[in-house]
Amino acid sequence: MIRDTATSALRTPLPGNFYRDESLYLQMKKKVFLPSWQFAFGPEALLPANQARPFTLLPGYLNEPMLQTSDEEGVEHLFANVCSHRGNLLVRKAGPCKHLVCPYHGRRFSLNGQCKSQPGLNAVPDFPGNEDHLHQPETASWGGLTFARILPGIPFQDWIKPIQERVGFLPLDTLIHIPERSHIYKVKANWALYVENYLEGLHIPFVHPTLREALDLSAYPVETNGFTVMQSGIAKDHEPAFDLPASHPDHGKRIYAWYFWLFPNLMLNFYPWGLSLNLVQPQTPKNTRIRFVTYRFAGQTGGPDTHALHDTELEDESIVETVQAGVRSSLYKPGRMVPGWEDGVIFFHQCLLSSLYPQHKGSKEDQIP
């Protein structure tokens, strides 16, 4: 069952040491995650005018202190939650405010991040300068979702384009957060093993009995595009499917779901009822936090089968944790991957290695200690 096969010499999985090496884990923070787009917040977190909210971008790994504000005109802003004077955390808790004042030395900022005053410097002719204003990450919004990144990297439009081409017809601006169906899971495995499991359907018949009954696994397309892997779940006759416009590339197919992975750690799973956003948050080389955020399209009375999704997640976690135990073996030598079914995993490895070792462009040899 070969699907748009990824062109690559990487036909075997990464070596076991990749999933437990502390130095590689730290390298990925700088080379993979800091230049990557990270989900910051959804429409449920938008603030009314004259409000500020601190939060952490990718907690447990990047741990970047961020500050979301809404100025007096209701315009949203995103900054590093760090005073430009001596690095103090600027805001400790969310709430209404008309300006920001650092509790360390009294430096004052407007809600649009402009430095207004500083005791002892107000008479200096060139104060405030550009370096005195709050520093901003690069930000982008799509479908009511806000993303941020710390270092330069993939242009946002290049990153999101394959998803927009597939789901742009959906009412993305009507997404409504469903808090009771949003959860956090903790997995005792390396974050990359969790991503790899997501990127292939080969395990479904063996690990997911309920999902196996809903999907037609004789037709399970896998496509790679840009920095994205898309898997299409084809519905059986008794299962719901998207009503696709005639111009859609999948018109004529009964699509049960589109499962998108965006490099390096975001999954966007679109169903006829809405979106399940999964954020993979590395914590240690052997521990990962998975954040599920569920949204429903306005006007949709249906929604996720919470028990089915929960059961599927627990099944995935169980198998990934046993893989983590297995790759510790000194006798483990990775075998060849299955063309078509595991193209997404191959593509993920390509992206990782290109970020870690850009001078080698895809070869694993002599790269991983």
Do 131 and 192 share a domain, yes or no?
no
Q: What is the pLDDT, as a whole number, of residue 2?
A: 28
Q: Are 206 and 179 part of one and the same domain?
A: yes
148, part of any domain: no
State both tokens at 187: 């997995």
Distances (CA, A) of 225 to 10, 100, 140, 230, 333: 17, 43, 20, 8, 29
What token pair was written down for 273?
A: 């009822």
Same structural domain, 121 and 174: no
User: Is 336:11 a contact under the CB 8 Å cutoff?
Assistant: yes
Domain boundary among 141, 164, 191: 141
Asked whether 288 and 264 are in contact (CB, 8 A), the reply is: no
Backbone angles phi, psi at 235, to 5 degrees: -75, 145
The answer to whether 259 touches 198, Cβ cutoff 8 Å, is yes
Distance CA 279, CA 12 (A): 26
Q: What is the tens place of the pLDDT at every residue in 209-227?
A: 777 676 666 666 789 999 9
Same domain, 93 and 132: yes
**Residue 345, both tokens:** 């995993």
229 pLDDT higher than 90: yes
Contacts of 213 (CB under 8 A, 6+ apart): 236
Q: In whole angstroms, what is the distance from residue 170 CA to residue 144 CA?
A: 12
Count other Cβ atoms within 10 Å, centred on residue 169: 14
316/336 same-domain check: yes
Is 190 strand, coil or helix? coil
What the block records as the tokens of 228 is 């994205």
96 lies in a domain? yes
Among the residue ranges 12-16, 69-73, 279-283, 319-323, the one predicted with the least confidence is 12-16
Nearest by Cα to 69 from 91, 87, 89: 91
pLDDT band at 6 (very low <50, low <70, confident <90, very high): very low
Identify the domain containing residue 122 by its residue range. 43-141
DSSP 30: I
- Here the tokens at position 311 are 């059961």
Instruction: Say how far apart CA 351 and CA 264 lie, in whole Å.
Output: 8
Do 76 and 114 lie in a common domain? yes
Q: Are residue 129 and residue 227 in the same domain, yes or no? A: no
Q: What is the mean pLDDT of residues 78-82?
A: 98
2 assigned to some structural domain: no
User: pLDDT value at position 158?
Assistant: 96
Would 221 be classed as within a structural domain?
A: yes
Residues 89 and 231 in one domain: no
CA 324 to CA 19: how far, in whole Å? 8
pLDDT of residue 295: 95
Q: What tokens appear for 231 in the block? A: 């898997």
Is pLDDT of 338 > 90? no
Residue 67 sits at φ, ψ, to 5 deg, of -135, 120
Boundary of a domain, candidates 87, 106, 141? 141
**Helix runs in the chain, H state only:** 22-28, 156-167, 191-198, 204-207, 209-214, 306-326, 343-356
Q: Which amino acid is at 38?
A: Q
Backbone angles phi, psi at 245, to 5 degrees: -65, 160
The enclosing H or E element of 175 equals strand 175-177
**In this structure, what token pair is assigned to residue 29?**
């923070």
Q: What is the pLDDT of residue 252?
A: 92
Whose CA is closest to 198, among 228, 218, 219? 228
**Which pTM does this prediction carry?**
0.90
Helix 343-356, helix 191-198: angle, nearest 10: 140
**Residue 130 main-chain phi, psi, to 5 deg:** -60, -35
Q: What is the domain-level CATH number for residue 231?
A: 3.90.380.10
pLDDT at 277 over 90: yes
Do both 120 and 165 map to the same domain?
A: no
Asked if the structure places residue 147 within a domain, the reply is no
Find the CATH number of the domain harbouring 120: 2.102.10.10
pLDDT tier, 1 (very low <50, low <70, confident <90, very high otherwise): very low
Runs of H (alpha helix) within 199-247: 204-207, 209-214
Residue 231 lies in a domain: yes
Beta bridge mates, 222: 231
Dmax (CA) of the chain: 75
Is 10 inside any structural domain? Answer: no
The mean of the pLDDT values for the chain is 90
Taking only the tens place, the pLDDT of each residue in 161-170 is 999 999 999 9
333 and 225 fall within a common domain: yes
Same domain membership, residue 116 and residue 212:
no
Q: Is residue 315 part of a domain?
A: yes
pLDDT at 104: 97
Summarised one tens digit per residue, pLDDT across range 138-168 is 999 999 999 999 999 999 999 999 999 999 9
pLDDT reading at 5 higher than 60: no
What is the domain count for the chain? 2
pLDDT at 3: 35
- Do residues 81 and 205 both lie within one domain? no
Q: Are 62 and 33 in contact (CB under 8 A)?
A: yes
Q: Which of 111, 141, 171 lies at the terminal end of a domain, its last residue?
A: 141
| Residue among 153, 169, 142 nearest 277 (CA) | 142
